[in-house]
Amino acid sequence: MSDNWLWTLLTAMIMRNGMTIDLSGWHEICLFSSLLHRSTRGRLIMMRQANGMMDVRLMRTLLTLLTECSVSKTADILGQAQPTVSLTLKRLREMLDDPLLVRSGGALVPTERGLALKETLRDILGQIDAHLSPHATFDPNNATRNFRIVADNCLGAVFLPQLVGKIAQKAPNVGVDASHMPSYDDLISQLADGSIDAVIGNWPHPPEYLRMSPLLTTDIVCIVRPSHRLASQRGPISMGEFLKEKHLSPTSDKRAQLSPIDGRLIELGLKRNIAVSVPEYAITPYVLTQSDLVFTTGRIFAEQIAQSFPLVVLEAPRELGQMQFYMLWHECKHQSPDHVWLRQMIKSVAAGVRVCDPTGSVPITFLRSGAPVFV
């Protein structure tokens, strides 16, 4: 039926009854009424279609956008091109009739509707995953696979041998690929694509969107050779004396923010002189015995080195606090029975290390703003 059907019907009624009425402007009123009716009806139909088209893929994209508050990070996590995610966000805004994410300075923040949807989508997708995923189990005796674990350098001599031994005992056909810490960007991308199973780290600000569990906390100490001017120091080294020294570090100053020592100094507005950086933690005692450098690390690792080399362990400046180790993994691995078992093995070994370190039972306190996930 055409847009002016009301006008046609009204004209016929007037002619039939011989009425003479001034209808100037009435045609426009009828046309507006008709268009309004059609527009409202179309909008309702479109909204119903939009709600019906909110499939699981769109839900996951929207949840990631609301969690990351970044189109580029969402694209990286989902393995999509950034323009594709931008178009998806535009479509979601039209479908839900809400901006969902708005600018706040240089960042994006969720709207009130977005925050509500974030919690709802997390529950919905969690239930979908729980119902659709097979209830598989991990049988360590018969399993044949490899786990790739990325660990901080200083864990090599203390933590990894025990972990490899425990896995070999419980799962004889399971291999372990213990890798060095890659660059930050590579670490995040490889966690997201599943090529890294777990990370054992100690940098000051772990990413908030990764799952996390504390492993151990240890005092920070310094190691020097016996002829070093500070070797006879009693009590903690002052921060002033600490900063005067030349330091040895397994982390170069280009990645200072990832070091538990330099990251803490950055927070204090300070910087130490890293005279030598080494690619392998195992090299440090050999360098220390041949130089007057200072090496700063966790007590449990320092005392192990001092048992094998002629080195002296000193109390570090109190301002450095303690060194905290934690395990990180991506959400994509969280429900996997294989990885649940792996995380249990890592936690078990960490508990044994804490028994050896009197400071290891101190509760871990994270420096990131979000609450840690103790799973």
Q: Which residues pair with 212 in a beta bridge?
A: 328
* Whether the Cβ atoms of residue 147 and residue 174 lie closer than 8 Å to each other: yes
Q: Please give the distance of CA 203 from its chain centroid, rounded to a whole number.
A: 13
Q: Which 3 state secondary structure label does DSSP give 43?
A: helix
Q: Is the pTM of this model over 0.85?
A: no
pLDDT higher than threshold 50 for residue 16: no
Tokens 């450095």 sit on residue:
320
Average pLDDT of the chain is 81
CA-only gyration radius of the chain, Å: 31
pLDDT higher than threshold 90 for residue 205: no
Task: Please report which confidence band the pLDDT of residue 153 belongs to, taking 50, 70 and 90 as the band edges.
Answer: low
Query: In this predicted structure, what is the pLDDT of residue 202?
Result: 85
Query: In this predicted structure, what is the pLDDT of residue 356?
Result: 58
Distance of alpha carbon 255 from alpha carbon 233, whole angstroms? 30
Helix (H) or strand (E) run with residue 101 in it: strand 101-104
| pLDDT tens column, 239-254 | 999 999 999 998 766 6
pLDDT higher than threshold 80 for residue 115: yes
Q: Which domains does the chain have, with CATH numbers?
A: 56-132 (1.10.10.10), 145-375 (3.40.190.290)
Task: Please report which confidence band the pLDDT of residue 158 belongs to, taking 50, 70 and 90 as the band edges.
Answer: confident
Exposed / middle / buried, residue 69 (Cβ in 10 Å: 0-12, 13-18, 19+): middle
First-to-final CA distance of the chain: 63
Tokens 């100094």 sit on residue:
265
Mean pLDDT across 128-137: 74
pLDDT higher than threshold 50 for residue 35: no
Q: Please give the distance of CA 254 from its chain centroid, rounded to a whole number.
A: 22
From residue 168, alpha-carbon distances to 143, 144, 198, 272, 356 in Å are 11, 12, 17, 41, 22
Instruction: Specify the length of the chain in residues.
Output: 375
Q: Write b or e for each residue in 136-160: b if 16 or more Cβ atoms lie within 10 A of its Cβ, otherwise e.
A: eebebeeeeeebbbbbbbbbbebbb
Query: In this predicted structure, what is the pLDDT of residue 292?
Result: 97
| DSSP tag of 330 | -
From residue 103, alpha-carbon distances to 16, 55, 119 in Å are 62, 26, 21
Mean pLDDT across 305-332: 93
Distance of alpha carbon 197 from alpha carbon 288, whole angstroms? 34
Within 187-293, strands assigned E span 198-201, 211-224, 246-249, 273-277
